[in-house]
């Protein structure tokens, strides 16, 4: 019986942002061991990582394709933590070598690329997860189950935003944004910056929690004279006829990766904020609102039992990512041991989620560039 998985990483050098979060999240799971990587496109940075991450130097590669070739049959999955423009080619090569993939978002720069990855993963019968990590928060899972049970009735309105101020400096004359500038360069980020980067998190999270599907949308995208969007406002119509409003901004001074989700139904409402991820405000029509707290009283849906630390001790971002990985690992282990993964095991954002994200930011950009016309979303 297989009990431990070996994984490799592409991207995630010592200075990178998200690779470290993946390694820390995976470090919370004794069933996964980092054994190889192509941590950077820069050779010296790669070499430093071997020592820092306790990876055998012989298994540190200067090219992701060579890594896939050499590690086929030796690793159980790869975590791709590179900038957006690298996701497609790297994911494709690992799939072609029969290796399960966990990839960062947005999945690709083009819809056709995302669809090709989806086709390939299915054809090869491989697990493919996309790190839309906010759905890993226990209280998002609690909201999802409460909504599915009918606690707030039929959803009639959604209001969601993702605000940060990380690119405000781009608007100043000095433009001193010095690190990881790839995000605002179309060569590396494709047709969208803020919507692809942050907006797709919201698109996924709302769908995950509510089950609503977007029918059409209209949008504005502010570039402030720069190459890509930095501030987007969107009105959406869902397939059930309800409307929603999303706002994504990377020039919102003073806002620290705030994601705010407000969902209104015919019988009540739910409200969640990523800066206080262990709490959900729940209101039933005609009653005073109550604060539900992770691992606290009054949560009677199964997701309530997923908390890892007791009431009052914060969990947070690393554990949200670890929760995604826990299910990915459960799924891969079961498949390797000839068992069938359960619905709970399969509760992670999959390659189709990645495809939806890419279609979403294409629709937003199409509307914004065409006088905010309504655009159907597939
Ligand atoms: N899920 C989330 O909450 C979240 C948060 C931040 C970033 N991200 C996503 O993670 C990805 C990486 O973002 P980041 O902020 O860590 O970027 P970063 O610039 O900090 O790190 C990118 C890493 O990729 C490496 N790299 C670049 N090209 C490579 C190549 N060809 N082969 C191997 N390594 C290569 C760099 O050396 C670096 O280690 C992006 O797609 C971003 O959208 C997701």
Query: Is the residue at 346 inside a domain?
Result: no
Same domain? For 122 and 26 the reply is yes
133 CA: nearest ligand 1 atom:
1
Q: Is the pLDDT of residue 49 over 80?
A: yes
> Does residue 327 contact residue 345 with C-beta atoms inside 8 Å?
yes
Residues 99 and 180 in one domain: no
Structural domain includes residue 344: no
CATH of the domain at 109: 3.40.50.720
DSSP string, 85-108: HHHHHHHHHHHHTT-EEEE-SS--
Q: Is residue 329 part of a domain?
A: no
pLDDT band (50, 70, 90) for residue 116: very high
Residues 122 and 156 placed together within one structural domain of the fold: no
102 CB near ligand 1 (under 6 Å): no
> Is 173's pLDDT higher than 70?
no
232 lines ligand 1 (CB under 6 A): no
CA of 204 to the centre of ligand 1 (A): 20
Say what the pLDDT of residue 69 is. Answer: 98
Q: What pLDDT is attached to residue 181?
A: 78
Tell me what the mean pLDDT of segment 108-129 comes to. 98
Which of 126, 156, 175 is the C-terminal boundary of a domain? 126
Does 231 fall in a domain?
Answer: yes
Query: With the CA atoms of 127, 327, 238 and 162 taken in that order, what torsion angle do they form, in degrees rounded to the nearest 10?
Result: -110
pLDDT at 170: 87
**Ligand 1 site, residue 38, Cβ cutoff 6 A:** yes
Write the CB contacts of 274 (distance below 8 Å, at least 6 apart in sequence).
Answer: 134, 137, 257, 258, 259, 260
The mean of the pLDDT values for the chain is 96
Check pocket membership of 10 for ligand 1, CB cut-off 6 A: yes
Asked if 187 and 87 sit in the same domain, the reply is: no
The answer to whether residues 85 and 58 belong to one domain is yes
Confidence band, pLDDT 50/70/90 cuts, at residue 174 = low
366 and 253 within one domain: yes
Instruction: Say yes or no: CB of residue 181 within 6 Å of ligand 1.
Output: no
Give yes or no for residue 198 CB within 6 A of ligand 1. Answer: no
Gap between the Cα atoms of 339 and 331, Å rounded:
9
Share of the chain above pLDDT 70, in %: 98
Spacing, Cα 312 to ligand 1 middle (Å): 32
Question: Which one-letter DSSP state was computed for residue 33?
Answer: E
CA nearest to 167, candidates 247, 250, 65, 74: 250
Whether 339 is in a domain gets the answer: no
192 contacts: CB under 8 Å, gap ≥ 6 = 199, 221, 228, 229, 361, 364, 365
Residue nearest to atom 18 of ligand 1 (CA): 16
Residues 276/312, Cβ–Cβ less than 8 Å: no
Which of 15, 17, 323 most suits a substitution to test ligand 1, by most atoms within 8 Å of the C-beta? 17
Residues 115 and 180 in one domain: no
Separation of alpha carbons 343 and 105, rounded Å: 23
Cα(289) to centroid(ligand 1), Å: 40
For residue 337, the CA-to-ligand 1 centroid distance in Å is: 32
Express the helix, strand and coil content of the chain in percent, nearest 5 each: 40, 25, 40
Residue 177 has pLDDT above 70, yes or no: no
Q: Which of 83, 106, 201 to mutate to test the pocket of ligand 1 (most atoms within 8 A of CB)?
A: 83
Q: Among residues 303, 286, 304, 287, which one has the least CA distance to residue 295?
A: 304
Residue 269 lies in a domain: yes
Considering the domain boundaries, does residue 348 fall inside one?
no
pLDDT digits (tens, 9 = 90+) for 89-100: 999 999 999 999
Q: Which pLDDT tens digit goes with each residue over 265-304? A: 999 999 999 999 999 999 999 999 999 999 999 999 999 9
Instruction: Summarize pLDDT for 221-272 with one digit per residue, the tens.
Output: 999 999 999 999 999 999 999 999 999 999 999 999 999 999 999 999 999 9
| Residue (of 268, 250, 162) closest to 206 by Cα position | 162
- The alpha carbon of 72 and the centre of ligand 1 are apart by a number of angstroms equal to 23
Give the pLDDT score at 182: 87
Q: Please give the structure tokens belonging to residue 158.
A: 């959604």
The pLDDT tens digits for 194-211 are 999 999 999 999 999 999
Give the tokens for residue 277. 């991820």
Q: Quick check: is 318 in a domain?
A: no
| 178 pLDDT higher than 90 | no
Contact 81 CB / ligand 1 (< 6 Å): yes
Query: Domain containing 261 — which CATH number?
Result: 3.30.360.10
244 and 369 both lie in a single domain: yes
- Which secondary structure element, helix H or strand E, spans residue 358, and what is its range? helix 351-368
* Residue of 192 and 167 predicted with greater confidence: 192
The total number of structural domains that make up the chain: 2
Distance 207 CA to ligand 1 centre (A): 25
Pair 151, 104 in one domain: no
C-beta 40 within 6 A of ligand 1: yes
Residue 193 Cα to ligand 1 middle (Å): 14
User: Based on the domain organization, do 55 and 178 belong to the same domain?
Assistant: no
Shared domain check, 265 and 246: yes
Q: How far is the CA of 285 from the centre of ligand 1 (A)?
A: 44
Q: Which of 126, 155, 180 is the last residue of a domain?
A: 126
Domain boundary among 86, 105, 126: 126
User: With bands split at pLDDT 50, 70 and 90, how would you rate the model's confidence at 169?
Assistant: confident
* Rounded average pLDDT over 139-158: 98
**12 Cβ inside 6 Å of ligand 1:** yes
pLDDT confidence of 172, banded at 50, 70, 90? Answer: confident
18 Cα–ligand 1 center, Å: 6
Asked if residue 22 and residue 119 are part of one domain, the reply reads yes
Q: Count CB-CB contacts under 10 A for residue 92.
A: 19
Q: By residue range, what is the domain housing residue 140?
A: 135-304+357-376
CA of 86 from ligand 1 middle (Å) equals 9
């Amino acid at each position: 019986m297989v009990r431990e998985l070996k994984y490799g990483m592409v991207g995630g050098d010592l200075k990178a942002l998200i690779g470290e979060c993946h390694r820390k999240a995976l470090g919370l799971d004794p069933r996964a061991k980092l054994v190889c990587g192509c941590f950077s496109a820069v050779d010296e940075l790669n070499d430093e990582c071997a020592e820092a991450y306790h990876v055998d130097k012989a298994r540190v590669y200067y090219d992701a394709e060579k890594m896939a070739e050499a590690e086929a049959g030796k690793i159980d999955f790869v975590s791709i933590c590179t900038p957006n423009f690298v996701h497609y080619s790297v994911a494709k090569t690992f799939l072609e070598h029969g290796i399960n993939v966990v990839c960062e978002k947005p999945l690709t720069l083009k819809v056709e690329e995302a669809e090709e990855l989806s086709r390939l993963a299915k054809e090869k019968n491989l697990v493919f997860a996309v790190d839309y990590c906010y759905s890993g928060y226990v209280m998002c899972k609690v909201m999802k189950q409460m909504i599915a049970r009918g606690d707030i009735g039929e959803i009639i309105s959604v209001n969601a935003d993702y605000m940060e101020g990380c690119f405000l400096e781009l608007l100043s004359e000095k433009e001193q944004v010095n690190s990881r500038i790839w995000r605002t360069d179309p060569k590396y980020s494709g047709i969208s910056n803020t919507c692809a980067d942050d907006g797709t998190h919201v698109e996924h999270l709302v769908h995950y929690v509510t089950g609503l599907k977007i029918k059409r949308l209209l949008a504005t995208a502010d570039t402030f004279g720069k190459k890509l969007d930095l501030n987007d406002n969107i009105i959406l119509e869902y397939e059930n006829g309800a409307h929603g409003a999303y706002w994504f901004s990377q020039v919102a001074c003073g806002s620290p990766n705030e994601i705010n989700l407000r969902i209104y139904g015919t019988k009540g409402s739910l409200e969640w904020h990523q800066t206080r991820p262990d709490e959900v405000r729940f209101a039933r029509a005609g009653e005073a609102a109550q604060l539900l707290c992770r691992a606290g009283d009054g949560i009677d849906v199964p997701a309530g039992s997923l908390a890892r630390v007791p009431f009052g001790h914060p969990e947070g971002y690393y554990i949200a990512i670890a929760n995604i990985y826990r299910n990915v690992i459960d799924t891969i282990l079961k498949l390797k041991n000839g068992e069938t993964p359960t619905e709970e095991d399969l509760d992670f954002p999959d390659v189709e989620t990645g495809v939806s994200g890419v279609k979403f930011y294409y629709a937003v950009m199409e509307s914004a560039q065409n006088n905010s016309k309504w655009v159907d979303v597939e």
